[in-house]
Structure 1
Amino acid sequence: MPTTTTQGVTVTVTTNYLPDYSSPAQEHYVFAYRIEIRNDGEFTVKLLRRHWYISDANNSVREVEGEGVVGRQPVLEPGETHQYVSGCNLKSGVGKMRGTYLMERLGTGAQFEVEIPEFTLMVPYRLN
């Protein structure tokens, strides 16, 4: 499981290929990813924005930016964890994602970026 820690915020990623929602004949591959964000720091933090880079094996790169994650801007006290599941579609069966969260330390208003570790999206039968 890819994991990174930035300024006391730890991000861990797990992925799954969703064959029931994919159509390889139409070059449509769907993946789900679960993100766990854990506040290992001393300050209460709020997730403000996300910024993703999504790369496909066909050399295309998409950027996705927006407020919060799946419609929420979670606040994490020290020791708290927030999990969410989202998805991504690719035109090939292999790709990767990486990105950042813009966080704010509540109380001080200081903003900082938290790295989302790069992770691979791969159709299981491509491993053979």
Structure 2
Amino acid sequence: MDVAPQSEDVHVDVEPAFRDDESSPEDNRYVFSYTITVHNNSRHSMQLMARHWSITQSSGEVQEVRGKGVVGQQPMIAPGQTFRYTSRAILDGPVGVMEGAFTCVDSVTQRPFEVAVAPFRLAGPNQVH
């Protein structure tokens, strides 16, 4: 019996980076890019349908971001394949934390499942040792 993808069959890597060229510390504007790689280690294709981010600002304020797909796409990811994209977050200070989840759908069963994205730090230069 072929087993449908579960969240443990999908792995997410995150590579955050501070964008000095787009940031303006005097205006409390700190821009970060983050590259997400979604690895489908299951036997079924899956489609990434939606995202939910919880962004904790330096001020302690928490911003919730929800939307369809990622970067304007709802990609289909075949077994053994990856999908990579880069997006941005704008913070009110030099350090913050993001975490969230992707809602995916199994291409065979059409059942949705959640893939958690572990918390990751966004930090400007010389902020974290």
**Which category describes the TM-score, using the shorter chain as reference length?**
over 0.9
Please give the alpha-carbon distance, in whole angstroms, between the structure 1 residues aligned to 2:86 and 2:42.
23
Q: Deviations over 1:68-124 (max 9, x none)?
A: 000000101110100000000000100000000000001211110000121000011
Q: Deviations over 1:14-42 (max 9, x none)?
A: 01000110000111000000000010011
Q: SS of the residue aligned with 2:126? A: helix
User: How well do the aligned residues superpose, as a CA RMSD in angstroms?
Assistant: 1.2
Identity %: 36
Please give the alpha-carbon distance, in whole angstroms, between the structure 1 residues aligned to 2:118 and 2:13.
8
State the TM-score, normalizing by the size of structure 1.
Answer: 0.93
Q: SS of the residue aligned with 1:20? A: coil
Match of 1:105 in 2: 106
Displaced runs of 4+ in structure 1, greater than 3 A?
A: none
Please give the alpha-carbon distance, in whole angstroms, between the structure 2 residues aligned to 1:14 and 1:125.
17
Gaps of 5+ in 1: none
Q: Which amino acid aligns with 2:90?
A: N
Match of 1:95 in 2: 96
Offset at residue 56 of structure 1 (A)? 0.8
The 8 Å contact of residues 36 and 81 in structure 1, kept in 2 or not, is answered as: yes
The 8 Å contact of residues 55 and 97 in structure 2, kept in 1 or not, is answered as: yes
Match of 2:81 in 1: 80
